[in-house]
Amino acid sequence: MAHKILIVDDEPNIVISLEFLMKKEGFEIAVAADGDEALAKVDSFAPDLVLLDVMMPKKSGYEVCEALRADPARAGLKIVMLTAKGRDTEVAKGLAIGADAYVTKPFSTKDLVARVRELLGGA
């Protein structure tokens, strides 16, 4: 069975490219454009992994990550934060609130796919 990935980003071009890339790799994909929609999609789609932008309308990626980590039912959910903010303080904050990985934009698609596969147990 294909792993399910939720792509959360408010930049349509990034969503299109990530969706194409992850579908090509055989993953089942859902998309959300803001933090509130992301939390709703996690409930309805039940992803194995979330690719989560930091800067978004309604709720930031940090707020979404904190909400997901506060839910014991979501303990196994993998979270990869994607952001243009690559300063050490942002990376440290993302990891401190429970992200499994932190990838800065622009990123290598090959590296991102490798990271996703690694987090999903080499799937």
Please give the model's pTM, rounded to 2 decimal places. Answer: 0.93
Is residue 49 classed as helix, strand or coil in its secondary structure?
A: strand
Tell me: pLDDT of 104 over 90.
Answer: no
Tell me: pLDDT of 45 over 90.
Answer: yes
Question: For the domain 4-119, what is the CATH superfamily, name and number?
Answer: Response regulator (3.40.50.2300)
Amino acid at 89: T
Mean per-residue pLDDT of the chain: 92
pLDDT tier, 117 (very low <50, low <70, confident <90, very high otherwise): very high
* Cα distances (angstroms) measured from residue 4 to each of 1, 24, 49, 72: 9, 13, 7, 19
Tell me: pLDDT of 77 over 90.
Answer: yes
Residue 47: name the closest of 56, 38, 55 by CA.
Answer: 38
Write b or e for each residue in 104-115: b if 16 or more Cβ atoms lie within 10 A of its Cβ, otherwise e: eeeeeeeebeeb
pLDDT tier, 107 (very low <50, low <70, confident <90, very high otherwise): confident
Tell me: pLDDT of 33 over 90.
Answer: yes
